[in-house]
Amino acid sequence: MAASSTSTVLGLSLWAQTDCPEWADFLQDNQKLEQLAGGHISNSGLHLAAEEKQFLAQRGTVLTYTGTGSGAASVTLPFSPRKITVFAQGKPPVAPRADGGWDVFSQVWLQGEESPYGTGGISLAADTLAAQFSEGAFSGEAGLYHALNRSGVTYVVELEP
């Protein structure tokens, strides 16, 4: 005998104490649960794959370093980022120089599909996770100077996974 009533959402049997359930009733309820819950669990449009979960679990990281004034500062990163943003604390993104040029205190580096994109002031050795932050002229750009390792200046490095 089937249940005298069923649940409103899943249609599962709600047996009363006087009902006499049969084996087929239990099987039918289990099949409904398997179909609805199993379909939901395996729906990749609703649930993330393991690699997607890992990506979302990574948080951005913020590091600091103090410039030495030499050609480039080297900082070991905790992971291989897809984006690096560097800026000097207490400095504008770009500042005029006495010679009429411009010091660039803030730069962005992006990991592209085939190669990284940036203005040349930031480089990353993927095998060692060592990032180089340069001091010196932009290549091919007259009057612009990388200012990512100015002596005594504290720099903030934001890493995005």
- Name the residue type at position 123: S
Q: Domain residue spans in the chain?
A: 5-41, 58-160
pLDDT tens for residues 1-58?
677 888 888 888 887 888 888 888 888 888 888 888 888 888 777 788 888 887 777 7
pLDDT tens for residues 103-121?
999 999 999 888 888 888 9
Phi/psi at 11 (nearest 5 deg)? 70, 30
Residue 25 has a CB neighbour count (10 Å cut-off) of 17
Q: Look up the pTM and report it.
A: 0.64
pLDDT tens for residues 42-71?
877 778 888 888 777 777 899 999 999 988
CA distance 157 to 57: 20
Residue 111's nearest CA partner among 136, 131, 135 is 131
Which tokens is 25 given?
Answer: 């009733």
